[in-house]
């Protein structure tokens, strides 16, 4: 039997694992983005100083400000 060859539906098992890993990564990133957007909202309301923002929230803020100042 060659290395890496599986029987009894091995291809389905590998793709299911890949989907599960992809979902877990999406979930982790989604949670981080959601928290960063919440911190950004607190900053915009004046309840949180800029130096306390996480890096992702600062990135979102830069993107938002760049979009708002873009000439039409």
Residue 55 vs residues 11, 28, 37, 39, 43: alpha-carbon distances, Å: 39, 16, 11, 11, 13
pTM score above 0.75:
no
What is the Cα–Cα distance from 51 to 49, expressed in whole angstroms?
Answer: 6
* Tens place of pLDDT per residue across the chain (72 aa): 556 655 555 556 666 777 788 999 999 999 999 999 999 999 999 999 999 999 999 999 999 999 999 887
Segments in 1-72 forming alpha helices (H): 10-44, 55-68
């Amino acid at each position: 039997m060659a290395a890496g060859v599986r029987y009894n539906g091995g291809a389905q098992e590998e793709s299911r694992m890949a989907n599960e890993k992809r979902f877990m990564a999406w979930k982790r990133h989604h949670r981080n983005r959601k928290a960063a957007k919440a911190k950004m909202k607190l900053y915009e309301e004046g309840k949180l100083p800029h130096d306390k923002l996480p890096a992702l929230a600062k990135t979102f803020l830069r993107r938002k400000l760049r979009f708002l100042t873009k000439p039409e």
